[in-house]
Structure 1
Amino acid sequence: MLEEVERWLARRSWSAADRPQASAQAVVKGTHGPGVSVVLPALNEAETVGDIVATIRRELMEKVRLVDELVVIDSGSTDATADVARRAGARVVHRDAILPRLPAVPGKGEVLWRSLLVTSGDILCFIDADLKDFSADFVSGIVGPLLTEPDVQFVKAMYDRPLGEVAGQGGRVTELVARPLLNLHWPLLAGFVQPLGGEYAVRRSLLERLPFPVGYGVELGLLVDALHTVGLDALAQVDVGVRVHRHQDGQALGRMAAAIYRTAQVRLSRGHLVRPSLTQFERGPHGFVPHTHPIDTQERPPMREIEEYTARRAA
């Protein structure tokens, strides 16, 4: 197993610096090549979403035509996220306006799943909307292999994640939960540096076959299901440098960890979840106060099972 992972690392792990630049990728893509849709799921990201959108438009839609479509899916922001994204040049769609017959539930995975219905690209590239010091390499780096490597179907970004001024200490849920789970249960995925990272590009033909956990477990769920659907050699990763973003507090990380564990549990057993909730504690004036939070237990089916989607693709 270790030898297989090492062979995969040598064959399917690249650096953006070593791969063709965006201009060369645009030439490879050509006028009739696969369409590329970039999707930013956003919730109260007015401080960062505008710079990300503006960079993608300038570098990958105007200077070169690598990206054909740039969509921000707003999942109910109470700040100026939608206005900022629109002014920067994105098409903004509210989560609740997509597939209205099926009421939306909170969660990042829900937004990503619904994005398949309002995009047209053969390749979908997901980028988190809270990135700071954003570089267009985050997009071109992970889209590139899907243009130049016909057998590759799913590409994750890998990067350093500093925690404040401390290098390499971000990604705490990855190190404490996701990486142990993958190494123990799906060792073929042990070579992924950032398995929970929100930046990845996937062929639509694969995405529409996969179920989507509606919450924080979506990245782990998609990666595991992609392995079982298309095999390890169809998966790849590209080093894009450093990822700087807003960090969650410890309690939020606990809820993320529980959702990720639940996603793994479902894929291991498809069995009954005994208690899909998590109790955490905060100190109050009279001692510790329990707060119990529901853990995401819902998943959306493969998009090709949705009537509206198949009708739209047929049209």
Structure 2
Amino acid sequence: MLEEVERWLAGRSWAAADRPLDQLLERKRAAGTTVSVVLPALDEEATVGAIVEVIRRELMEGLPVPLVDELIVIDSGSGDATAEVAQKAGARVVHRDDILPRIPALPGKGEVLWRSLLVATGEIVCFVDADLREFSASFVSGIVGPLLTDPEVQFVKAMYDRPFGGAPGQGGRPGGAEQGGRVTELVARPLLNLHWPQLAGFVQPLGGEYAVRRSLLERLPFPVGYGVELGLLVDALHTVGLDALAQVDVGVRVHRHQDGQALGRMAAAIYRTAQVRLSRGHLVRPELTQFERGPEGFVPHTYPVDTEERPPMLGVKEYALRRVA
């Protein structure tokens, strides 16, 4: 298995600079492929506008052919000005609850990504988290690139350093001890190495930046919560095989980091997603109890662990009707 992972790393891991923008534009024009970028957003007014502006300025406007044809922000119920900021910056903004209204929305990132397939029209769909700071257009062009240049590639994840204390020069150290990604290192990576060792070569298996051919996405179930990235990666492996998966180094990812309690809930969701894929068995207790110190000692707080998954979009009648149209 180690030899297979090393072979995959040598043939399916690249840097964003390996595919210059002019090369991608030429390939895109020749193939007539369309690209949608989707940003799932919840209370991200501080960062979403800058991300939208960079994508529009560098990948959509003033080019012989746009690399990105469609830029959509899916607002999942923000209490701040996320929608207004994103729209002013030039994105199309759609509220989660306005997509597929016959099915009541569940909370969670995966729910938003699943519903986005009904409003995004591109043959390639690129997901980007909306909390990124110091955003670079290479986060999009880098992961879209292999899908435009290699017809065998179907699913591309971004890989990057995640400095815990900020960007390089601001307290963060790429590749050093102060890395983020604690749920990745403590939960996701051990699970993948133990149960899906073919995926051991992915540097950022839980990263929120990845581009996928629609023809694959519409065949995959979506965990509604934080487990969506692990679930999609594992299911893509079983659906199209390791050689259809790839990763691209885009440099440094700067974003906010969660506290330990939130990370615990994320870890539980990741474990649950893996468990379902390992056994498809019954969840005895899909809940997580955590503790906080109060005036009279430790107080328990119990949270539900994401247990819902949305079916492959091909089975949703509204999506099927849109494809026919």
- TM-score calculated relative to the size of structure 1: 0.99
Cα distance, 1:32 vs. partner?
A: 5.4
Query: Match for 1:62: what amino acid?
Result: E
Residue 24 of structure 1 and its aligned partner are, at CA, apart by 2.0
Q: Residue in 1 aligned with 2:56?
A: 57
* TM-superposition CA deviations, 1:244-296 (whole Å, max 9, x none): 00100000000000000000000000000000000000000000000000000
- 1:26 Cα offset (Å): 1.0
Correspondence for 2:220 among 185, 210, 216? 210
Partner SS for 1:3: helix
Equivalent residue number for residue 144 of structure 2: 143
Does 1:9 find its partner at 2:9?
yes
Question: SS of the counterpart of 2:60?
Answer: helix
Q: By how many angstroms is 1:181 displaced?
A: 0.1
CA distance in 1 between counterparts of 2:69 and 2:5 reads 34
Equivalent residue number for residue 287 of structure 1: 297
Distance in 2 between the 1:286 and 1:30 partners?
A: 66
Distance in 2 (CA, whole Å) between partners of 1:68 and 1:15 is 23
Q: How does 1:16-35 map to 2 (within 5 A)?
A: 16-17=16-17, 19-30=18-29, 33-35=32-34
> After superposition, where does 1:189-200 map in structure 2 within 5 Å?
189-200=199-210
What's the counterpart of residue 269 of structure 1?
279
Counting only pairs closer than 5 Å after superposition, residues 141-220 of structure 1 correspond to structure 2 as 141-164=142-165, 165-167=171-173, 168=175, 169-220=179-230
Cα deviation digits, residues 154-198 of structure 1 (max 9, x gap): 000000001012434200000000000000000000000000000
Q: Kindly provide the amino acid, as one letter, of the partner of residue 14 in structure 2.
A: W
The ranges of structure 1 where at least 4 consecutive aligned residues each deviate by more than 6 angstroms after the TM superposition are none
**Structure 2: runs of 5+ lacking an equivalent:** 166-170
What SS class does the counterpart of residue 67 from structure 1 fall into?
Answer: coil
Q: Note the C-alpha offset of 1:34.
A: 1.2
Q: How many residues align?
A: 314
Question: Secondary structure, in 3 states, of the residue corresponding to 1:62?
Answer: coil
Alpha-carbon distance in 2 for matches of 1:125, 1:63: 21
Moved more, 66-75 or 168-177: 168-177
The answer to whether structure 1 residue 231 and structure 2 residue 241 are counterparts is yes
Measured in 1, the distance between the counterparts of 2:213 and 2:133 equals 26
Stretches of structure 1 that go unaligned for 5 or more consecutive residues are none
* Residue deviations 1:15-41 (CA, integer Å, cap 9, x gap): 112x22223211110065211000000
Q: Distance in 2 between matches of 1:166 and 1:38?
A: 28
**2:203 alignment partner, SS class:** coil
What amino acid is aligned across from residue 212 of structure 2 in structure 1? Answer: V
- Distance in 2, Cα, partners of 1:302 & 1:221: 12
Query: Which secondary structure state, in structure 2, belongs to the residue aligned with residue 193 of structure 1?
Result: coil
SS of 1:145's equivalent? helix
CA-to-partner distance for each residue in 1:11-68, whole Å, 9 max, x for gaps?
A: 0000112x22223211110065211000000000000000000000000001331000
Partners of 1:76 and 1:126 lie apart in 2 by: 18
Residue of structure 2 in register with 1:96 after alignment: 97
Could you tell me how far apart the structure 2 residues matched to 1:29 and 1:308 are? 29
Equivalent position of 2:168 in the other structure: none
- What is the alpha-carbon distance in structure 2 between the residues aligned to residue 63 and residue 138 of structure 1? 19
Supply the distance in 2 between the matched residues of 1:114 and 1:22 (Cα, whole angstroms).
Answer: 30
Distance 1:56 1:314 in 2: 30
TM-score, normalization by structure 2:
0.96
Q: For each residue in 1:177-226, what CA deviation from the matched residue of structure 2 results, as whole angstroms up to 9, or x when unmatched?
A: 00000000000000000000000000000000000000000000000000
How big is each residue's C-alpha offset from its partner over 1:118-174, in whole Å with a ceiling of 9 and x where there is no partner?
Answer: 011000000000000000000000000000001000000000001012434200000
Post-superposition CA distance 1:68-122 (Å, at most 9, x none): 0000000000000000000000000000000000000000000000000001100
Range that drifts further, 60-69 or 244-253: 60-69
Coordinate RMSD, CA, aligned: 0.8
